[in-house]
Structure 1
Amino acid sequence: MADMPRGVLYPRQHAPIVDTRTHPPGPRAAPFVEYYWHVRWRVAEPYETRVLAHPNVHLVFERPAPLVYGVDRNLFARRLEGRGQVLGVRFRPGGFRPFVSGPVAELADRRVPAAEIFGPEIEEAGDRILAAPDSAAMAALAEAFLLPRLPATADPQAGQAAAIVERIMASPSLLRVDQVAASAGLSTRTLQRVFAEYVGASPKWVLRRARLHEAAARADAGTPVDWAALAVDLGYADQAHLIRDFTATVGTTPSRYARS
């Protein structure tokens, strides 16, 4: 496997059967697209892949038809059977806003037929993309589809939203919404409005998800974890608070997850 995105759970089980590759966007698409990702799998028995999703909207070219995935605020799960592949476009936070008529929060926890947003021509584009010889060619075709549909200029507020999300995801020690708002020069209420309009999840959810990503990454590292110390580092009231939060989302305790 070439690329293992942060947030994929049980990576040691995932790696032997799922191949993931990512490709950067070109300069014209870069203000809107974070990267293109290609997943190919081959399993002898059904396998459920689980992911602590990021605050990103995805356009996924798959069978039987392309779908738009809003931010999944729960645990994303997908059952893999036999052989298959998908090509996804991971939009930057705020990068999908030009394609919808209302706040991106309206897509949260939803899977929408891409034809409802991009028109029926996306289905023919999806056929060409999935028939391409390799992941790089697929990504190039996906970008060729998007380029004429992108606005001439990026929305400055979308760029601000992306920068704030990037700061949160890179710094799980950020603890409070008001702290994030102050660092961005915004009021808490304005920050919440910006996130609903452009990101699709609340600042509180993004903060919590960043902490869970870090806890899962520590567990996956294969070295002993001082859960009490990590709870303090991540701003939890105590170790029990971290355990409750992790268990509520992942479905098992951090220590049991680390042993799996």
Structure 2
Amino acid sequence: MLHWLKTPQSPIVAQYIECYWTIEKTAKTNLNDFPKLNPDPATHLVLSPSEQPFLYKVDDTAITGKGSHWLYPHRNTFQLDHSQPFIHLGIKFRTGALYSLMLPDYEHPTLDDVHELKSDIPIQQQDIPNLIEMAKNNVDMCCQNLDELLIPWLTKSKQDRHSELVKKALSLLDSVAINELSEKLFCSQRTLERSFIRVTGLTLKQCQSMNKLEVILEYLYQRDADDIDWAEIAVMFGFSDQPHLIRYLKNQLGLTPKTYEKERGLTIDVYGGIDSF
């Protein structure tokens, strides 16, 4: 299995792109056939071979298509279909970045959805096979080419007072209580909440909860089931008690901690999140 994650080399690109990532499954790869993708406040551009199918399922709704596609911020856990060999080269945008990039076919904000790629970015369909080949054989060259393709587009972005305020809020969101953010940013709570929803499509609480979930999952991935103390984890991550943590995980992932212990690899942020599984 091929799997890597790299940050952009260009500081211009890094303002809008959090990372590039690749995951590949071959016929010989031992990988969960139907992993789940945890809620994510970021948008991903997933570059894939044109005839390669994709499937994202939430509850009784399935979103299907072929080839490259946009994976927008999602508040629920998606189940993926990785039962057949595949390869994805991904671009993970920073939370709220698409607000400033003014895609012609993009109605902002788009949530909980997947759209096939149109000609709305400087990466053309003919570029994708070469990029995927580089992702497999020369990671640094792949990242450099992505930087070069994206820079002309990203330099045309437009920031406004809403995007500037949200950028500052995001830098503090994981370390400052939500009810203290507006004071830190010298604005009213109402102004902050409205700008945040306008730019990201999410509330501050939704985004903070998604960020916390990713940190918890990373902590869990690094430990064997026998080493996990759920009561200790509840205290460590600011939950009032273990039942509070259980309710949180069930709401976010559709799994209880005990189910997670049994299935372990079921919930994997394979798209630009945890760098090992």
User: Do they fold alike, i.e. is TM over 0.5?
Assistant: yes
Corresponding residue of 2:231:
228
Q: Point out which structure has higher relative CO (alpha carbons under 8 A, 6+ apart).
A: 2
Contact 1:93 1:158 in 2 (8 A): no
1:200 & 1:25 partners in 2: Cα distance? 28
Q: Which residue of 1 aligns with 2:215?
A: 214
1:9 is matched with which residue? none
Write the deviation string for residues 212-240 of structure 1: whole angstroms up to 9, x where unpaired. Answer: 22332333332644433543454434321
Secondary structure of the structure 2 residue equivalent to 1:96: helix
* Among candidates 94, 112, 115, match of residue 115 of structure 2: 112
Distance 1:179 1:42 in 2: 49
1:190-227 Cα distance to aligned partner (Å, 9 max, x none): 22222223223221111212332233233333264443
3-state SS in 1 of match to 2:217:
helix
Output the amino acid matched with 2:179. Answer: D
What secondary structure is seen at the aligned counterpart in 2 of 1:29?
A: helix
Structure 1 residues not aligned, in runs of 5+: 1-16
User: How many matched pairs?
Assistant: 239
Shift in CA distance, 131/233, structure 1 to aligned 2, threshold 3 Å = closer
Q: Partner letter of residue 110 of structure 2?
A: L
The residue aligned with 1:205 is: 206
Instruction: Check 1:153–1:110 CA distance in 2 against 1; reply closer, same or farther (3 A cut).
Output: closer
* Offset at residue 71 of structure 1 (A): 0.6
Q: Residues 13-162 of structure 1: matches in 2 within 5 Å?
A: 17=1, 19-44=3-28, 47-64=33-50, 65-97=67-99, 98-100=101-103, 106-115=109-118, 117-118=120-121, 122-132=124-134, 133-152=137-156, 155=159, 157-162=162-167
Given that residues 60 and 69 in structure 1 are in contact (C-alpha distance below 8 angstroms), is that contact kept between their aligned partners in structure 2? Answer: yes
Post-superposition offset of 1:250? 2.0
**TM-score computed with the length of structure 2 as normaliser:** 0.72
After TM superposition, the structure 1 stretch with the greater mean CA deviation from structure 2, 70-79 or 137-146, is: 137-146
Identity of aligned residues (%): 20
SS in 2 for 1:109: coil
Gaps of 5+ in 2: 51-66, 265-277
TM-score (norm 1): 0.76
